[in-house]
Structure 1
Amino acid sequence: MQDSDNKRFVPRDRNWHPPAYAPGYKTTVARSPRQSLVSLQHPSRSELTGPSFKALRLGLHDNDLLMNYREGQGQDGLPVGERIVMFGRVVDQFGKPVPHTLVEMWQANAGGRYRHKKDGYLAPLDPNFGGVGRCLTDDQGWYHFRTVRPGPYPWPNDPNSWRPAHIHVSVMGPAIATRLITQMYFEGDPLIPRCPIVQTLADPEAVDTLTGRLDMARSRPMDYLAYRFDIVTRGELQTYFENQG
């Protein structure tokens, strides 16, 4: 993520991010690059600017996954599952907010099934849940989503691999070239250390940056639990981003 003041790209920390080739995570065997990456020392102006999201027109329920899929569909029901709120701030390493940036998220439903034509998991689709949302951060970098807690799901990395419950997050930043993608896990989930993808991270503190913390003060009695997930875009305390591996 670029610094909004000096527009410089920050070199990634190779000790923080996992290796591109990690045989324990079998997808990397075929997808990892065979040649060294090329560093762009002098990005062009088109890579450093725009688009601006300040004028983006969002729907009334774009950040409310309990409402945004059934809206206009003639359906009266709500999604099945544990109701939660996911919130936090997008900041740089100095705690300076990243305002008016587009935050997008996508997730499986409460049964662990994505609304995707290639998802063949036997868990059923929820007719009242689309699994995607978006919002803009405010002046202080805060974002907020209402949704259901996603379920874990199996995947064919080995005979019994399961992904922990997680929510994918994209932060656009000041330009298309600065888009960062990460995911939030849930505090206390015993599947986190068992996940082959998580195991590619050698530093436990990097894993910690991916964990949403239960916040009872922001939870609403008889309604939902709240999980805080702050996103640090750069510096020593940056959140681990999967597209910077």
Structure 2
Amino acid sequence: MNPESEFLQRDPAAHPPAFTPIYKTSVLRSPRLPLWSLQNSLSEMTGPVFAQGELGALDNDLVRNHAQDGGAPIGERIIVHGRVLDGGARPVPGVLVEFWQANAAGRYRHRNDRFEAPIDPNFGGCGRVLTDAEGRWHFRTIKPGPYPYRNRVNDWRPAHIHFSVFGAGFAQRLVTQMYFEGDPLIPHDSIIATIPDPAARERLVARLDLGASVPLHTLAYRWDIVLRGRRSTLFENKLQGN
């Protein structure tokens, strides 16, 4: 996430090709012409700078940050935690990590979501957190549910949480999604299937972490975000490689 770092060539062995007909949306979204490499402006490479004081006290608690007075969201409470690391396994502090997700019934709080599952009035489904000096981050939420989507006749998305990771500039925003260990829908998902490298797919799966769970209250999952190197996290918008 160093603004002076050179971009690396995309690794086609790990990253999915732009045109993957098994995920039919890619048919229209894939570029018809070669991509252009544009010079970033100074403002894109030097800002924004995020401070802890800009975040609210409940920004990383999705169980409470949208709950009405006396209410609580429905579903399994979980903790998701991890670290943001560079290619040398060194912690990256001060990174803004944003996350958004469907509710326990598999529905997003978005006007374009037409899934017939109910909207939870006590669950907003989004939050954010800054990494600490050791690159650590965590948040509490409701485990999202799967949902159908119009790809093949009976395609369902596994439970997942979307992530955005901000570096030192607007040009360093990375986007990906995280899945849960043991989800039986993962092997059947057409979007995950666009990733050719099985090891890269596995790096998107959070592992159950009983050591970080709260006894009699909340299970925990751990998922580290690695920015570069051989074990880097696969980012959906990181077309220049890892």
Please indicate the TM-score interval, normalised by the length of the shorter structure: over 0.9
- Aligned partner (choices 59, 63, 80) of residue 62 of structure 1: 59
Q: Which amino acid aligns with 1:67?
A: R
CA distance in 1, matches of 2:44, 2:229: 21
Deviation at 1:222, TM superposition (A): 1.1
Question: Partner of 2:34 in structure 1?
Answer: 36
Q: Does 1:47 align with 2:41?
A: no
Deviation at 1:230, TM superposition (A): 0.2
Cα gap change, 1:7 to 1:244, in 2 (>3 Å): closer
Q: Which amino acid aligns with 1:243?
A: N
CA contact (8 A) 1:172 1:179 kept: yes
Structural mapping, 1:133-212, within 5 Å? 133-212=127-206
Question: Partner of 2:228 in structure 1?
Answer: 234
Deviation at 1:56, TM superposition (A): 4.9
- Aligned partner (choices 213, 222, 231) of residue 216 of structure 2: 222
SS of aligned partner of 1:135: strand
TM-score by length of 1: 0.94
SS of aligned partner of 1:243: coil
Q: Which runs of no fewer than 5 residues in structure 1 stay unpaired?
A: none
CA contact (8 A) 1:17 1:244 kept: no
CA distance in 2, matches of 1:226, 1:238: 22
CA contact (8 A) 1:86 1:228 kept: yes
CA distance in 2, matches of 1:168, 1:14: 23
SS of aligned partner of 2:193: helix
Question: Partner of 1:15 in structure 2?
Answer: 13
CA distance in 2, matches of 1:55, 1:192: 35
SS of aligned partner of 1:30: helix
Deviation at 1:3, TM superposition (A): 3.0
Cα distance per residue 1:5-38 (max 9 Å; x no partner): x433233222210000000100000111000111
CA distance in 2, matches of 1:69, 1:22: 37
Q: Percent identity?
A: 56
Deviation at 1:55, TM superposition (A): 5.5
SS of aligned partner of 1:207: helix
- Aligned partner (choices 69, 89, 100) of residue 95 of structure 1: 89
CA distance in 1, matches of 2:196, 2:6: 27
SS of aligned partner of 1:169: strand
Runs of 4+ in 1 over 6 A off after TM superposition: none
Cα gap change, 1:28 to 1:108, in 2 (>3 Å): same
Q: Which amino acid aligns with 2:54?
A: R
SS of aligned partner of 1:87: strand
TM-score by length of 2: 0.95
CA contact (8 A) 1:91 1:97 kept: yes
CA distance in 1, matches of 2:51, 2:91: 15
Deviation at 1:174, TM superposition (A): 1.1
